[in-house]
Amino acid sequence: MKTKNQTLKQLLDQYQTISALDKINATLGWDQNVNLPAGAGEERASQSALLTELVTEKWQDPKFQQLIKKVEETKLTDTEKAVVRNLKRAGQLYFQVPKEIIIEHSKTTSEAFMAWQTARRNNKFNEFLPHLKKIIKLTQIIADHLGYKKNPYDALLNLYEPDLTTQDCQQIFKNLQPRLTKLLKQIQSSKNYRQFPNNLIDEKNIYSLADQEKLSQYIMKLMDYLPDRGRLDTSTHPFTTTLGQNDVRITTRYNIHDWRESYTSTIHETGHALYELGVNPDYYHTPLEGGVSLGIHESQSRFWENIIGRNPLFLEFLEPIFKTLFNDSLGSVDSQTLALLLNKVNPSYIRVEADEVTYNLHIALRFEIEKDMISGKIQPNDLPEAWKDKMQKYLGITPRNNRIGVLQDVHWSYGSIGYFPTYTLGNLYASQFTAKMATEIDIDHSISNGQLGTILSWLRTNIHQHGGLIYPKQLVQQVTGESLNSEYFLRYLEDKYSKLYQL
């Protein structure tokens, strides 16, 4: 990125080093998840910690912070202003929270992560409880240092999604929850719900990993995610990682009895990768690189996974491929059955296994609990009960233990409080973008013919190229002409599932 502003130039130079160190660390992380021999874990952790320390020093360098103050007093273009805004945002924890608190938080969460793993395995919430209490206390302190207008939870939400407030989330879930719960009930009492083709996904069916990988490679190519700038590997939890301007990698996971896992994971992660790869090349190595927020990022992955990948028209296009690859099990399957297989609605205890209809009910529950946890309205001891009550109310099921209840997510043990709502935002943004896209291109035609190029180029023009330039609220306004509106998502679900389940 070129600039005439000498102070900004100095800042950009410094940031370039930070960005390079982060990517080197990401490379170590990728290797750790994909290749690392079991015995090498400890050494790798210390190598990673060293890089994190180097990056922290760069951020905490008083000269760097002085430069940021100085540059704000100079005349800046709009793009340059966005660079400075993003720098301040990326550095807010270092700039606003005392070093001792950051260190204490990092120590607490690494211990909490270990404790959470055993607590979950043993189904003993009490083993995690003292750690969670400490995390909540530290998080409250951090929120106070970060500052907020109305609610301390706002400061936490803003860490993950710029300008997102508790009030925004309250409004969103108030709109979503009753209609989703109602739709779920309608689906559960429908004829198709009872006739679900369970016999295609069970231990008697074998979907060879080699064939599943062929399917993944085929889809990646169709989506224009190519080996010259990306690659596919396997890991326990699928992820996308950016290691360089021309190196954005994804992973997937294979289940020999259920091809849907790798199919949906690969499309999801490719959606993330395409966003990263589509950013204006001028922004690489600057604070405008990468996606603008977790919510917008998730909108891209969910768009491809759900709106395209689970679309009955797309499945009809892929039908011959499925039949060729998985002839033993899917040889005589029809496209309606395929559509039901990929859009099975079923209330489950586990968020990561949830379908499109119930997913956001899992998030509504977490949002309400986190908000009250931070304000002190819910005491940590009462979390398991609060969890069970809300599961019953929203999904009509009560987890029989804490392992599949309050202990299921890793997020709190990491200290990530305020993160969950970005998942729902991703779903909402995706539907609102799609509604706009549909007024400009013939999406159904593209999907039916497997011509995804027109869709990708719409996303590149409207969303990807901007990288971190335009904040989510403004981006949604710019792309769709209105602010975030959950109606698009609700209508998308109601239309799609009314047809599939013949409601």
Distant-in-sequence, close-in-space partners of 297: CB < 8 Å, separation ≥ 6? 272, 275, 291, 426
**Length, in residues, of the chain:** 503
d(CA 409, CA 411): 6
Instruction: Classify burial at 123, counting beta carbons within 10 Å of its beta carbon; exposed 0-12, middle 13-18, buried 19 or more.
Output: middle
Q: Which region, judged by CB under 5 A, interacts with Mg ion, from 195-203, 221-229, 297-305, 354-362?
A: 297-305
Distant-in-sequence, close-in-space partners of 128: CB < 8 Å, separation ≥ 6? 112, 115, 116, 119, 120, 407, 413
Q: Which is nearer to Mg ion, 251 or 301 (CB)?
A: 301
- Residue 265 binds Mg ion (CB under 5 A): no
Cβ 268 to Mg ion, closest distance in Å? 6
- Say how many residues touch Mg ion, by CB under 5 A: 1
**Whether 77 contacts 47, CB under 8 Å:** no
Q: Which is nearer to Mg ion, 301 or 434 (CB)?
A: 301
**Whether 232 contacts 217, CB under 8 Å:** yes
d(CA 100, CA 282): 37
Q: HEC states along 173-210?
A: HHHHHHHHHHHHHHHHCCHHHHCCCHHHCCCCCCCCHH
Q: Which region, judged by CB under 5 A, interacts with Mg ion, from 86-94, 152-160, 294-302, 450-458?
A: 294-302
Q: Which is nearer to Mg ion, 301 or 413 (CB)?
A: 301
DSSP secondary structure string, 299-366?
A: HHHHIIIIIITT-HHHHHHHHHHHHHHTHHHHTT--HHHHHHHHT-----S-GGG--HHHHHHHHHHH
What is the DSSP code (8-state) at residue 234?
Answer: E
Q: Which region, judged by CB under 5 A, interacts with Mg ion, from 215-223, 286-294, 295-303, 469-477?
A: 295-303
Which residues partner with 356 through β-bridges?
none
Residues in region 359-398 near Mg ion by CB under 5 A? none
Cβ 426 to Mg ion, closest distance in Å? 7
Cβ 306 to Mg ion, closest distance in Å? 12
Cβ 274 to Mg ion, closest distance in Å? 13
Cβ 303 to Mg ion, closest distance in Å? 11
Q: Which is nearest to 397 in space by CA: 195, 196, 181?
A: 181
Q: Measured in whole angstroms, how far is the alpha carbon of residue 220 from the centre of its chain? A: 19
Cβ 269 to Mg ion, closest distance in Å? 7
Q: Which is nearer to Mg ion, 166 or 301 (CB)?
A: 301
Q: Which is nearer to Mg ion, 290 or 312 (CB)?
A: 290
d(CA 200, CA 259): 10
Residue nearest to Mg ion (CB): 301
Is 368 tagged catalytic?
no
Which residues partner with 247 through β-bridges?
244
Instruction: Sheet containing 232-234: give its strands across.
Output: 232-234, 247-252, 240-244
Q: Which is nearer to Mg ion, 233 or 316 (CB)?
A: 233
Q: Measured in whole angstroms, how far is the alpha carbon of residue 213 from the centre of its chain? A: 23
Per-residue x/- track, 299-318, Mg ion (CB under 5 A) = --x-----------------
Q: Which is nearer to Mg ion, 252 or 301 (CB)?
A: 301
Strand 240-244 and strand 247-252: the pairing is antiparallel
Q: Which is nearer to Mg ion, 286 or 300 (CB)?
A: 300
Please report, as a single letter, which amino acid is at residue 216. S
Cβ 187 to Mg ion, closest distance in Å? 25
Q: Which of 80, 269, 276, 356 is catalytic?
A: 269
Q: Which region, judged by CB under 5 A, interacts with Mg ion, from 98-106, 293-301, 305-313, 357-365?
A: 293-301
**Whether 16 contacts 285, CB under 8 Å:** yes
Cβ 250 to Mg ion, closest distance in Å? 10
Binding residues for Mg ion (CB under 5 A): 301
* Residues belonging to the active site: 269
